Amino acid sequence: MAHANLEDALRNVQSLRNDLRAVITLGMRKEEGYWEDCEVSEQVLDSRWTWGSTPITETHTEKGWVPPREVPINKPDIEKRESAQARLQQIYHSSIGSVKYVAGCALYVDDRKLLNQIDGWLDTLGDRIKLDSEREDVKVVYDIPYSTSTTESHPNTKGLVGFSISKIPSRLSDIRRKAGKLLDVSEADILGHELTKISLGLEEDELQKVYRHASHPEYRQKAGQWLGYPPVRIFCHEHPVAATVSGIASTGVASGLVYALVEYFNK
């Protein structure tokens, strides 16, 4: 029940944030067709490709035709926007935890102020979470993405709410780590979780901890990539038995056995 209440509150914030951009459609107008530059991506195999390597994504620009279409003639819905602004202000000032945070994001409250507020709220929970409602709230904080886009969705709320934090990734990372500890997530998994959230790398000893001890394959593989390990080494680390057999068939007996043995003794 607590999770449903939190989800409803976050859904309400998302709806109100959409209302901040509400418009009234006055009619339609016809737009002529035109050519525009379009970026096209395709995966190609590099000339240095080896077994286990990931194809490289290359992009190039092509001319694309945009056909004639009808587009709406809009004007701002001032009444709806002002109502949403007032309601979001009320939610922001009366809420705690993740609901206060996302309402503040919708209102473009200063990033540092928002992060300080949510950090202070986590401190009030002490060393352990006592209520299920608090646990669900902390899960939302733990999964806040670092993104410059307001369209990135939060997995624990089934895509209901988009978050936008763009200026203080290290501060946000500290808060997510604190939330992870409250949720009793292992240190290696907290660090691995960070690798999926930020564009900044971890320290080498932290990457090694993720690579060797994280419980999620995604975390271990990403840590291996950040450490600069070749794909075949990461594969051997994840699948030592299969890698030995595959290594014998693909790259020779020596390389297959050596990689598998190295990964076995480095665990």
Query: SS3 of 178, please?
Result: helix
Report, in angstroms and rounded to the nearest whole number, the Rg of the chain calculated over CA atoms.
Answer: 24
Report yes or no on 230 lying in a domain.
no
Beta-strand pair 23-31/69-76: antiparallel
Q: Which amino acid is at 2?
A: A
C-alpha distances out from residue 44 to 50, 59, 147, 187, 235, Å: 13, 10, 28, 37, 21
Lowest mean pLDDT among 4-8, 64-68, 78-82: 4-8
Number of other CB atoms surrounding residue 198 within 10 Å: 17
* Whole-number pLDDT of residue 248: 42
**With bands split at pLDDT 50, 70 and 90, how would you rate the model's confidence at 249?**
very low
Query: SS3 of 143, please?
Result: coil
Report yes or no on 162 lying in a domain.
yes
Query: SS3 of 74, please?
Result: strand
Report yes or no on 237 lying in a domain.
no
Residue in this structure with the two tokens 């395709």, named with its chain if needed: 42
Q: How far apart are CA 249 and CA 243, in angstroms?
A: 10
- Tens of pLDDT, residue by residue over 140-198, are 999 887 654 433 444 444 433 444 444 567 888 889 999 999 999 999 999 999 888 76
Report yes or no on 260 lying in a domain.
no
CA angle 112, 139, 100 (to 5 degrees): 45
- Tens of pLDDT, residue by residue over 30-54, are 999 889 888 887 766 555 555 445 5
Residue in this structure with the two tokens 């067709």, named with its chain if needed: 33
* Domain range enclosing 16: 1-20+71-185
**With bands split at pLDDT 50, 70 and 90, how would you rate the model's confidence at 233?**
confident
What is the mean pLDDT of the segment spanning 203-226?
91
Report yes or no on 116 lying in a domain.
yes
182 near 125, Cβ under 8 Å?
A: yes
Work out how many domains the chain is built from and give that number: 1
β partners of residue 75: 24
C-alpha distances out from residue 117 to 31, 52, 173, 175, Å: 47, 46, 15, 11
Lowest mean pLDDT among 1-10, 153-162, 206-215: 153-162
For the cut 70, the answer to whether the pLDDT of residue 62 exceeds it is yes
- Tens of pLDDT, residue by residue over 101-145, are 999 989 999 888 998 999 999 999 887 788 888 899 999 999 887
Residue 59, exposed/middle/buried by CB under 10 A (0-12, 13-18, 19+)? exposed
Q: How far apart are CA 38 and CA 41, in angstroms?
A: 10
What is the mean pLDDT of the segment spanning 226-247?
76
* Whole-number pLDDT of residue 70: 93
Number of other CB atoms surrounding residue 235 within 10 Å: 22
- Both tokens assigned to 175: 């808060």
**With bands split at pLDDT 50, 70 and 90, how would you rate the model's confidence at 266?**
low
* Whole-number pLDDT of residue 159: 39
Percent of the chain with pLDDT over 70: 73
Number of other CB atoms surrounding residue 202 within 10 Å: 19
